[in-house]
Amino acid sequence: MPVVAFYSNHSNAKLQSEWENKIQVHYPLVNLVPLLSDQAENAIIALLWKAPLERVKNLNNLKGLISLGQGVDHILKDNIINNKMPVVRIVDPFMAKSMSHWVVMCVLNFTRDTFGYYDQQKNKIYKPRKEKNFTNLKIAIYGIGAIGSVVAKDLKKLGFKVYGWSRTQKKIPGIICLIGKDKFKNLLKSCDIHICLLPLTKETYNIFDNSSFKIMKHGSCFINAGRGEQVVEEHLIKNCKSGHISSAILDVYRKEPLPKKSKLWEQENISIWPHVAAETNPETAAKQIANAIRCIENGQIPPNTIERKLGY
């Protein structure tokens, strides 16, 4: 019976039990135990989200780690975990579609001026607002992997001109896929809506800073559901305050939960979401987690094992 140490930053006994029940549908022998308990000393695998890594590091029987989400930066940070330890991420079509729904909602709220109409309703103003011509708008998606590619396709179906940027060349029908620093700058200059879905790596840390925002068109919309560390928040606030960035919608932050003293809360044209754009669903992710546990237990390499040198 494989013992799996479990930890989520939202951890409680109910959540652990839910995950165990879902995983046992596909692998009945799995036994989840709290990472911080004595039982975890016997764990051969850890299933984690934003766990105390020193505790993980000191579990001597571990053969592999599984992220409870698409991202793995919470496991790789500070190089605490041995770089020979296999790390597996979740790649779930449900998560990809959830992210797409959230991004599409953000884009449509921007293009149809949803919040402008909300303000009019408060003041009992009944009149049309200027509508953006969506056929002229260009959307840049930074990060077009398992999730970003789904978002790109869905926006394309809605009639938008969609461009994708990634580390390696991708081929997605109907999407102009680009790579390289020069193309990154070209997208910043030419597009109207900028969507960050990048993994967090050394190359993407602080990638959206004042130099990036200044290159964007006046009145651009910036959407971030990648990682908070990819954005220099003071620079974003500055560009939103000046109106250069007309609207920003954020789901991730440098520090989470977002501190009440953060100035992001105070900026009217910045919308705050609490990291919920694409949450992991035990119902749909349990099967691949069960398979990953079985693979690690048997000394095999599970699907979606990351390349450590790339960070994803």
Same domain, 106 and 175: yes
Residue 31 CA to residue 78 CA, distance in Å, equals 29
> What does each of the 312 residues of the chain score in pLDDT, given as a tens digit?
899 999 998 768 899 999 999 999 999 999 999 999 999 999 999 999 999 999 999 999 999 999 999 899 999 999 999 999 999 999 999 999 999 999 999 999 999 999 999 999 999 999 999 989 999 999 999 999 999 999 999 999 999 999 999 999 999 999 999 999 999 999 999 999 999 999 999 999 999 999 999 999 999 999 999 999 999 999 999 999 999 999 999 999 999 999 999 999 999 999 999 999 999 999 999 999 999 999 999 999 999 999 998 888
Tell whether 230 is covered by a domain.
yes
Residue 32 CA to residue 21 CA, distance in Å, equals 10
Tell whether 21 is covered by a domain.
yes
Same domain, 287 and 252: no
132 — phi, psi (to 5°)?
Answer: -75, 140
Tell whether 306 is covered by a domain.
no
Residue 164 CA to residue 148 CA, distance in Å, equals 8
SS3 250: strand
Same domain, 172 and 193: yes
Same domain, 55 and 103: no
Tell whether 312 is covered by a domain.
no
Same domain, 261 and 141: yes
Tell whether 302 is covered by a domain.
no
Same domain, 222 and 103: yes
Same domain, 230 and 117: yes
Tell whether 310 is covered by a domain.
no
pLDDT for the residue numbered 9 = 85
Same domain, 153 and 40: no
Residue 263 CA to residue 261 CA, distance in Å, equals 6
| Structural domain containing residue 46 | 3-92+280-297
Got the DSSP string for 95-141? Answer: HHHHHHHHHHHHHHHHHTTHHHHHHHHHTT-----PPP-GGG-EEEE
Tell whether 309 is covered by a domain.
no
Instruction: Give the bridge partners for 220, in sequence order.
Output: 245
SS3 252: coil
Residue 51 CA to residue 75 CA, distance in Å, equals 8
Q: What is the CATH number of the domain that holds 208?
A: 3.40.50.720
Same domain, 111 and 15: no
pLDDT for the residue numbered 150 = 98
Residue 237 CA to residue 248 CA, distance in Å, equals 9
Same domain, 145 and 174: yes
Same domain, 119 and 46: no
Instruction: Give the bridge partners for 270, in sequence order.
Output: 248
Q: Into how many domains does the chain fold?
A: 2
pLDDT for the residue numbered 237 = 98
Tell whether 311 is covered by a domain.
no
Same domain, 123 and 85: no
